[in-house]
């Protein structure tokens, strides 16, 4: 007789679920090292498609797209993290104020509205105000939809930090700014880093909105990959996908570890106290 927590088949489904989630990525990862020119016939281990990404005929296009993606992700993540940090401090530490529920809804709006709707709306808006689509419009759109992704871990972290730390600092003669910069900010740091990394990935990964507001001639990595895939799946796409995949997983893992380590210092004191 097993405990009430056990249901036959649930473990198998859960493990199957993980398999389904990872299998396509793992398969692509493996086939990106395929030495053959054919997509699916295994021709031995080789790095030729990785070399092709950097030196092949599409190298320049992908290079430019990568540069665009990275610079946009860097700027969008930086700006949205600053904005989200300010918002989180106001929302979590500001007590009750008029417009709080509305602001909360506003922050979460980018998560509620279907991406394709945001994409169309943003394109029509830029066209109406006469802003030519290109690098700048992509950047603006990215900053906007990255805000909630940066906000979530930062506000979650801030909620876990008791208000008494700041009060203790104020009690010990710290000004409001000193209490913020010496106490609150260092304690929030794991949440901020985590939010930054997530915003960075979200920006790096976005396809739909970027595809609408990028205009002709400008490419980010996902739109370049999409364009290439539309011509037919080629092995160099597998290599570039694998690299992007690894970068994403690295970032998420980093974000997770930083957050967890930060959690520990807060939790331990609470437990023992």
Residues 57-76 that bind other proteins (CB under 8 A): none
Smallest gap from Cβ 100 to other proteins, in A, equals 9
Name which position in 37, 55, 94, 261 contacts other proteins (CB under 8 A): 94
Q: Which is nearer to other proteins, 20 or 57 (CB)?
A: 20
- Tell me how far, at minimum, the Cβ of 255 lies from other proteins, in Å: 9
Q: Using the rule CB under 8 A, which residue among 65, 72, 107, 154 binds other proteins?
A: 107
Size of the site for other proteins (CB under 8 A): 112
- Single out the segment in contact with other proteins by CB under 8 A; choices: 48-56, 57-65, 152-160, 233-241: 233-241
Does the protein bind other proteins through residue 7 (CB under 8 A)? yes
Structure-block tokens of residue 99: 């417009």
How many alpha carbons lie under 13 Å from residue 32 in its C-beta half-sphere?
21
Interface residues for other proteins in 243-272 (CB under 8 A)?
Answer: 244-245, 248-249, 251-253, 256, 260, 264-266, 268-270, 272
Contact with other proteins (CB under 8 A): which of 59, 61, 75, 226? 226
SS3 readout for the chain: CCCCCCCCCHHHHHHHHHHHHHHHHHHHHHHCCECCCCCCCCCCECCHHHHHHHHCCCHHHHHHHHHHHHHHHHHHHHHHHHHHHHHHHHHHHCCCCCCHHHHHHHHHHHHHCCHHHHHHHHHHHHHHHCCCCCHHHHHHHHHHHHHHHHHHHHHHHHHHCCCHHHHHHHHCCCCHHHHHHHHHHHHHHHHHHHHHHHHHHHHHHCCHHHHHHCCCCCCCHHHHHHHHHHCCCCHHHHHHHHHHHHHHHHHHHHHHHHHHHHHHHHHHHHHHC
Nearer to other proteins by C-beta: 59 or 266?
266
Spatial CA neighbour of 200 closest among 248, 134, 154: 248
- Choose, by CB under 8 A, the member of 112, 159, 181, 261 that binds other proteins: 112
**Selected binder of other proteins within 53, 72, 87, 158 (CB under 8 A):** 87
Q: Which is nearer to other proteins, 9 or 217 (CB)?
A: 9
Footprint of other proteins on residues 165-204 (CB under 8 A)? Answer: 165-176, 178, 183, 186-187, 198, 201, 204
131 binds other proteins (CB under 8 A): no
Considering only residues 28 to 47 of the shown chain, the ones binding other proteins according to CB under 8 A are 28, 31, 39-40
């Amino acid at each position: 007789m097993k405990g009430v927590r056990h249901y036959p088949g649930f473990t198998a489904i859960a493990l199957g679920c993980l398999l389904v989630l990872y299998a396509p990525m793992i398969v692509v990862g493996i086939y990106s090292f395929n030495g053959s020119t054919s997509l699916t016939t295994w021709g031995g281990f080789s790095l030729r498609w990785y070399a092709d990404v950097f030196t092949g005929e599409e190298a320049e296009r992908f290079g430019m797209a990568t540069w665009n993606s990275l610079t946009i992700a860097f700027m969008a993540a930086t700006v949205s993290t600053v904005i989200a940090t300010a918002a989180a401090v106001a929302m979590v530490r500001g007590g009750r104020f008029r417009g709080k529920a509305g602001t909360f809804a506003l922050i979460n709006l980018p998560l509620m509205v279907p991406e394709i709707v945001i994409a169309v709306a943003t394109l029509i808006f830029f066209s109406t105000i006469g802003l030519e689509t290109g690098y700048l419009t992509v950047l603006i759109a990215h900053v906007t939809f990255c805000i909630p992704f940066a906000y979530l871990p930062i506000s979650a972290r801030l909620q876990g930090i008791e208000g008494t730390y700041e009060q203790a600092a104020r009690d010990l003669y710290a000004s409001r700014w000193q209490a913020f910069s010496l106490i609150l900010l260092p304690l929030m740091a794991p949440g901020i880093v985590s939010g930054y990394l997530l915003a960075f990935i979200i920006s790096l990964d976005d396809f739909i909105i970027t595809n609408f507001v990028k205009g002709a001639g400008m490419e980010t990595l996902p739109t370049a990959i999409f364009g290439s895939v539309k011509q037919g799946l080629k092995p160099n796409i597998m290599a570039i996908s694998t690299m992007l995949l690894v970068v994403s997983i690295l970032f998420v893992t980093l974000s997770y570890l930083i957050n967890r380590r930060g959690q520990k210092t807060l939790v331990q004191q609470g437990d023992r106290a």
